[in-house]
């Protein structure tokens, strides 16, 4: 925050196009792979030196209190002292596989027998979203299923498309592949919606406020909002809202 205050003050005293104050923002990987990429481009064009930090919130949220990041996109609704956690929408996930994989392991749909036989593709060992999804879907605790770990949203999606396994991916990534017939929905009535929050200073210089407004504006265009939720799903849908599952 101090660097942005200094940059704002210096710009007011002696305007110059050569100033590039460092701006660090923490963001979860799925957001960066989908809606946040365009946000980052726009921020980087504002005469700043942008650093994006991708890690889980146990690491990224403390960066805010240390002054090492000006904001954070997180699944946590609990802001550090001196910060606000502003709801920005929900990231929607659905369980998918390629056609051949689905026919082999889930010919009768996504059930316990297929889940125990088929390998799942997860982001990393801290990714608890898949287990939560299975527990809600099957109404029982499922732990002993085979897993592959691909700690990159694009690599995870490519592995599923290749037939390495099945898994949960953001609808923003999967929709075009589903429409092209490369992926199929395994549980179309059981989507998962993860709440996202933008953590930012309660009191901030105008340049930081402008960045926060930009992030929130983009997020609310790309993500599902509370008002959209009622219109987006039929009464038969059993979408699950999850707050703070694990960071991915």
Q: pLDDT tens digits, residue range 130-164?
A: 999 999 999 999 988 999 999 999 999 999 999 99
Intervals of CATH 3.40.190.290 along the chain: 2-90+196-227
From the CA atom positions of the chain, what is the Rg in Å?
20
**Residue-level pLDDT at 192:** 95
pTM across the whole model: 0.84
**Residue-level pLDDT at 109:** 95
> Are the beta carbons of 210 and 71 closer than 8 angstroms?
no
> Are the beta carbons of 6 and 208 closer than 8 angstroms?
no
Q: Considering the domain 2-90+196-227 in this protein, what is its CATH number?
A: 3.40.190.290
**Residue-level pLDDT at 143:** 86
Given a cut of 90, whether residue 245 has pLDDT beyond it is: no
10 pLDDT tier (thresholds 50, 70, 90):
very low
| 3-state secondary structure labels for all residues of the chain | CHHHHHHHHHHHHCCCCCCCCEEEEECCHHHHHCCHHHHHHHHHCCCCEEEEECCCHHHHHHHHHCCCCCEEEECCCCCCCCEEEEEEEEEEEEEEECHHHHHHHCCCCCCHHHHHHCCEEECCCCCCHHHHHHHHHHCCCCCCCCEEECCCHHHHHHHHHHCCCEEEEEHHHHHHHHHCCCCEECCCCCCEEEEEEEEEECCCCHHHHHHHHHHHHHHHHHCECHHHHHHHCCCCCCCEEECCCCCC
Q: Is the dihedral of CA 27, 28, 31, 34 positive or negative?
A: positive
Distance CA 102, CA 98 (A): 6
Intervals of CATH 3.40.190.10 along the chain: 91-185
Q: Considering the domain 91-185 in this protein, what is its CATH number?
A: 3.40.190.10
Given a cut of 90, whether residue 209 has pLDDT beyond it is: yes
Distance CA 167, CA 123 (A): 9
Distance CA 118, CA 120 (A): 6
> Are the beta carbons of 213 and 103 closer than 8 angstroms?
no
Q: What is the mean pLDDT of the chain?
A: 87
């Amino acid at each position: 925050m101090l660097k942005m205050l200094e940059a704002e003050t210096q710009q007011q005293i002696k305007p110059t196009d050569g100033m590039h104050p460092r701006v660090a923002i923490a963001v979860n990987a799925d957001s960066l792979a989908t809606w946040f990429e365009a946000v980052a481009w726009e921020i980087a064009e504002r005469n700043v030196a942008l650093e994006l930090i991708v890690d889980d919130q146990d690491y990224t949220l403390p960066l805010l209190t240390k002054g090492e990041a000006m904001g954070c996109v997180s699944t946590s609704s609990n802001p550090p002292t001196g910060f606000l956690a502003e709801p920005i929408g929900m990231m929607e996930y659905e369980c998918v596989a390629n056609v051949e994989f689905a026919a082999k392991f889930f010919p009768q749909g996504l059930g316990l027998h297929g889940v125990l036989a088929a390998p799942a593709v997860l982001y990393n060992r801290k990714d608890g979203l898949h287990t939560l999804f299975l527990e809600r879907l099957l109404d029982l605790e499922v732990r002993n299923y085979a897993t592959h770990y691909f700690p990159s949203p694009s690599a995870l999606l490519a592995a599923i498309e290749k037939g390495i396994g099945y898994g949960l991916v953001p609808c923003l990534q999967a929709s075009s592949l589903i429409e092209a017939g490369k992926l199929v929905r395994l549980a179309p009535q059981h989507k998962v919606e993860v709440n996202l929050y933008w953590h930012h200073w309660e009191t901030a210089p105008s340049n930081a406020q402008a960045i926060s407004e930009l992030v929130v504006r983009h997020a609310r265009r790309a993500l599902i909002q509370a008002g959209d939720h009622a219109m987006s799903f039929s009464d038969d849908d059993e979408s699950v809202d999850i707050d703070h599952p694990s960071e991915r």
